[in-house]
A and B are shown apart, each in its own frame.
Chain A
Amino acid sequence: SAVISQKPSRDICQRGTSLTIQCQVDSQVTMMFWYRQQPGQSLTLIATANQGSEATYESGFVIDKFPISRPNLTFSTLTVSNMSPEDSSIYLCSVDTTRGGEAFFGQGTRLTVV
């Protein structure tokens, strides 16, 4: 198993600003992911955070908007850049300890852009 700590847990931000969300895992993991859960919607994968290389983004998500860092095997950050109200969502960090197996999730960051 894995215990994931995410912060901040929530924030209210002005449009045009950026917010960086941190994800800390209590053990070394290979696979780390960032998801977005918009109101009434499913969880959507934003990107896979790769240690030592650029993140792999899913269709519809780009590095300029959602830059990701992964400096080591226990930590990652997601930045939501130049925010607009449409970015209001819950952002979740996830890890997969067994490649294709069970995923563990942080409690999420509830972002509101005004």
Chain B
Amino acid sequence: AQSVSQHNHHVILSEAASLELGCNYSYGGTVNLFWYVQYPGQHLQLLLKYFSGDPLVKGIKGFEAEFIKSKFSFNLRKPSVQWSDTAEYFCAVNGNNRLAFGKGNQVVVIP
């Protein structure tokens, strides 16, 4: 079975600070990797995804993530956050046509 770990569930930072959210997964085979975001009062939406190719993927709103196969990691980064990035962020892995989610990171950006 696949599983996903996200640490530091609550993150508070100021505007213009850099953000990095860790994601580690366990699965023995080939995986597709995702980061989803849920803004307050809205539904889950895709931030970025990795299927194959360049392990550094860029998503919407200036976010990027790097797949490091040897570390089973897919960390999310943004160099300079804005107040509008306040949201919950979920890492997800699809290894057998089922999405497994991490517990999420609640990110609060203070103006």
- Size of the chain B interface, CB-CB below 8 angstroms: 22
Question: Are A102 and B97 in touch, CB under 8 angstroms?
Answer: no
| B14 CB within 8 Å of chain A | no
Contact with B along A55-72 (1 / 0, CB 8 A): 000100000000000000
Contact between B98 and A105 (Cβ–Cβ < 8 Å)? no
The count of residues in chain A whose C-beta lies closer than 8 Å to any C-beta of chain B is 23
A101 to B10 Cα, complex, angstroms: 28
Q: Find out whether the CB atom of B43 lies under 8 angstroms from the CB atom of A100.
A: no
| Given A100-B32, A101-B32, A101-B51, A106 and B103 contact (CB-CB distance below 8 Å) | no
Q: For the complex formed, measure the closest distance between the CB of B61 and the CB atoms of chain A, giving whole angstroms.
A: 17
Q: Besides A101-B51, A105-B36, 5 other CB < 8 A contacts?
A: A41-B103, A42-B102, A100-B32, A100-B97, A103-B99
Interfacial residues, chain A to chain B (CB-CB below 8 A): 4, 31, 33, 40-45, 48, 58, 92, 94, 96, 99-103, 105-108
